[in-house]
Amino acid sequence: MKKILLIGTGGTIASEVTDTGLAPELTTEQLLAQIPAISDICDVDCVQLLNLDSTNMAPEHWLLLARCIRQRYDRYDGFVVTHGTDTMAYTAAALSYLIQNSPKPIVLTGAQKPIGFDSTDSKINLADAFRCTAEDLPGVSIAFNNKVILGTRAKKTRSKSFQAFSSINYPYLGVLRDGVLLRYIRPDCAEAPVFYDALDPKVGLLKLIPGTGREQADFLLERNDALIIESFGVGGLPENGGFYDCVRRAMAAGKIIVLTTQVENEGSDLGVYHVGHRLKNELGVLEAYDMTCEAVVAKLMWILGQTRDRAEVERLFYTPVARDILWTEG
Contact status, residue 114 vs residue 14, Cβ threshold 8 Å: yes
Number of C-beta neighbours around residue 313 at 10 A: 19
Q: Which residues is 7 bridged to in the sheet?
A: 47, 81
Q: Which residues of 270-303 are buried (b: 16+ CB within 10 A; e: fewer)?
A: beeeebbebbbeeeebbbbbbbbbbbbbbbbbbb
- Strands (DSSP E) contained in 119-188 are 139-144, 147-150, 154-156, 165-167, 174-177, 180-183
Single out the catalytic residue among 12, 82, 85, 152: 12
- Cα–Cα separations (whole angstroms), residue 113 to 3, 52, 161: 27, 15, 9
- Cα–Cα separations (whole angstroms), residue 196 to 250, 303, 324: 28, 10, 17
Active site residue 133: no
Which residues are tagged catalytic? Answer: 12
